[in-house]
Amino acid sequence: MTGDLNRKIRKLRNNVMLSLTGVATLLVLLPLALILFYVVKEGVSAISPGFFVHLPEPPDVPGGGMANAIVGTLELLLVAVIVGVPLGIAAGIYVAEHGAEFLTKLVRFSADVLNGTPTIVTGLFIYGLVVLPMRKFSTLAGGLALAIILLPVVLRTTDEVLQTIPRSYREAALALGATRFRVLWDVVLRAARAGIMGGVLLAISRVAGETAPLLFTSFNNSYWSMWLDRPVASLTVQIFNYAIAPYDRWHAQAWAGALTLITMIIVINLGARAWLRWRTGRLA
Amino acid sequence: MSATASSLVRVEQAHWGDRVYSWALRLIAALVPLLIVAIGVELYRGSQPSRVAFGWHFLSSSAWDPVFGHFGAWPYIYGTLLTTVLALLIAAPLGVGTALFLAEMAPLWLRAPLGYLIELLAAVPSVVYGLWGIFVLAPWLQNSLEPWLTAHFGFLPFFQGAPYGVGFLAAGLILAVMTVPFIVGVAREVIAAVPVSQREAAYALSATHWDAIWDVVLPSARSGILGGIMLGMGRALGETMAVTMVIGNRPTVSASLLAPGYTLSSVIANELTEAMTQLHLSALREIGLVLFGITLVVNILARLFVWRVTRGIGKVI
């Protein structure tokens, strides 16, 4: 009798707990649905073609857009990619291909720790290192802050992709008398290129949404800025400034900016995944 | 896996170009640990005036007066810790539950798309979370959830005072949403890494599916799950924009979750460009140093936990 009851209790507990895991999943996905819903709803009603071609306007003037901020974000990303991607790939090659045990472990570990460092701390670092000595906010400073955030992600991606390249490729090339540089350049990187590119794109989609490290490095700008040593507007900082300001018109612009930003990020992100699946056959 | 062709073939006299190339790579790789050291040194150097003026008292003092030059970090440390704990209390059970669903329960065809949606949560920019927090979450808290909490649980110290909408609770909720994908990501991997044979052994002893999960899978995945939670903790501690936008930005030390507060990261975000005095600026940089120190410890512990399970092949998230 008690054994029977015991079994019933265990069955019941099994059903309840397993259903709860499903409930947890729904609860986790609910905020995502809500956020996307509001961004699309508020964003679509606030966005217009002018948003993409006009400069910001004061809160009492209708119209206005974030054209300079969109271009500014792209400029910052460009600086970050130029600095962060080659360094990240090179360091990734080192740990995957040439590492002496200790340094390899240390570099991998440091990359993970750097990846977890709050981005506002990275901003403070660049503030002390670049902004204060130059005595001004600049595109360069913002781009460098983003580069530091990009670097560890690119490093670990490169590391992982290189480890999937069969050892026999390298051995074959070495056996033909190729130098180590040639092995890497002509054989390994050629095989890993598509995977690394996909990883870099994923990393860019992450960095594109950063705000905190830009607040006091690239600062903001109401106008176009095409110089490395001038402050520059970015979508994220502009959204932040508009969101905390007390003007409805600016709030609407912030939603439009959020829609633009999130679309950009999802497109890059999905694009990178599709590319990876197509070129490497790996499920990304 | 890192042992590659290079360790098999020891070329005694390397080509000169190869030597240049491998030294260049080594230098660049060494840059990564150096960066971490440099960040610490820079923040330490930059906070010198504040450290000299306040010493260790900086950590325990609640004064924050830019005009008279008194600075203490306690309300910010308190806010950071409280919001992080709150976030993890919500995110950890939900995250582990979701990971179990993805790894054990969901039909195979559903797993990849669900996993992608969870990752999308991590891809949403912080400032967009903040925007949503200001205009959707905070008003809802102020008008619905918080009055309900005070009416039914007002006798608890956590739910007292006027409902502002913005405050510790709002920040904790947003942080929970933002940290969940990190917990799910790691937990899912370590749960999937538990050998099938162990589950089968449990089933053979007439365990139900849940018994097998509770008594076999979760215990072997424990250290990895803890690592995942600590990774999420690192994120929550340092998260800036969304928190700044919903926490109310008032340096209060209050047991009530409904009260507005402040965090280490938000005070840097709000005040750095407006700091007029050298002392104020250095106090903010010391706040950065404190934040860096806390997250460094948490991250190192998290990596040690996760690495022990995945043996260093853990992917970057």
Tell if the CB–CB gap between A114 and B35 is shorter than 8 Å: yes
Query: Would you give the distance in Å from CA B79 to the centre of its chain?
Result: 14
Contact B5 A38 (CB under 8 A): no
Q: How many CB atoms lie within 10 A of CB B132?
A: 28
Task: Say if A109 falls within a structural domain.
Answer: yes
- Bridge partner list, A104: none
**From first to last of its 284 residues, what are the pLDDT tens digits of chain A?**
567 888 889 899 999 999 999 999 999 999 999 999 999 999 999 999 999 999 999 888 888 899 999 999 999 999 999 999 999 999 999 999 877 778 899 999 999 999 999 999 999 999 999 999 999 999 999 999 999 999 999 999 999 999 988 889 989 998 998 888 888 889 999 989 999 999 899 999 999 999 999 999 999 998 898 889 999 999 999 999 999 999 999 999 999 999 999 999 999 999 998 888 888 765 44
CB contact under 8 A, B272 and A215: yes
The CB density around residue A105, as the number of other CB atoms within 10 Å, is 15
Q: What is the pLDDT of residue B5?
A: 47
**pLDDT over threshold 60, residue B2:** no
Residue to test with chain A: of B6, B20, B26, B32, most A Cβ within 10 A? B32
As given in the structure block, the two tokens for residue B305 are: 């936990």
- The residue of B37, B101, B128, B243 whose CB has the most chain A CBs within 10 angstroms, and thus the best one to mutate to test that interface, is B128
- Residue B300's closest chain A neighbor by CA? A113
A226: closest CA of chain B, how far (Å) = 22
Q: Which H or E element spans position B112?
A: helix B108-123
Q: Is the CATH number of domain B48-313 1.10.3720.10?
A: yes
Residues A220, A76: Cα–Cα separation, whole Å:
12
B17 vs A105: CB contact, 8 Å cut-off?
no
In this prediction the pTM is: 0.92
d(CA B47, CA B285): 5
Question: CA–CA distance from A199 to each of A202, B146, B188 (Å)?
Answer: 5, 43, 21
On whether residue A48 sits in a domain, the answer given is: no
Residue B12: the pLDDT is 52
Q: Look at A23 and B97 and tell me if their CB atoms are within 8 Å.
A: yes
Contacts of B280 in chain A (CB under 8 A): none
**What pLDDT is attached to residue B71?**
95
Domain that holds residue A108: 56-283
Domain total for chain A?
1
A134 falls within a domain: yes
pLDDT band at B136 (very low <50, low <70, confident <90, very high): very high
DSSP state, B314? P
Provide the pLDDT confidence category of residue B306 given band limits of 50, 70 and 90: confident
Q: Are residues B127 and A97, on separate chains, in Cβ contact within 8 Å?
A: no
- A74 within some domain: yes
Q: What is the Cα–Cα distance from B23 to B27, expressed in whole angstroms?
A: 6
Given this model, what pLDDT does residue A2 score? 67
Q: Is the pLDDT of residue B1 over 70?
A: no
Chain B CA closest to residue A259: B128
Q: Give, in order, the Cα–Cα distances in Å from B314 to each of A24, B104, B305.
A: 25, 20, 11
Q: Is residue A168 part of a domain?
A: yes
- Residue B71 in 3-state DSSP? strand
CB–CB contact B238 A13 (8 Å): no
Is residue A3 a part of any domain in this protein?
no
Within 8 A of A186 by CB-CB distance, chain B residues are none
Interface predicted TM-score (ipTM) of this complex, two decimals: 0.93
In a domain, A131, yes or no: yes
Domain residue spans of chain B: 48-313
Strand partners, B71: B64
Nearest residue of chain A to residue B181 (CA atoms):
A28
Q: Which residues of B touch A122 (CB under 8 A)?
A: 39
- Cβ-defined contact of A10 to B211 (cutoff 8 Å): yes
CA–CA gap between residue B227 and residue B208 (Å, rounded): 27
CATH number of the domain to which A131 belongs: 1.10.3720.10
The three state secondary structure string of A37-96 is: HHHHHHHHHHCCHHHHHCCCCCCCCCCCCCHHHHHHHHHHHHHHHHHHHHHHHHHHHHHH
Mean pLDDT of B278-294: 96
Chain A CB within 8 Å of residue B17 CB: yes
The answer to the question of residue A195 being in a domain is: yes
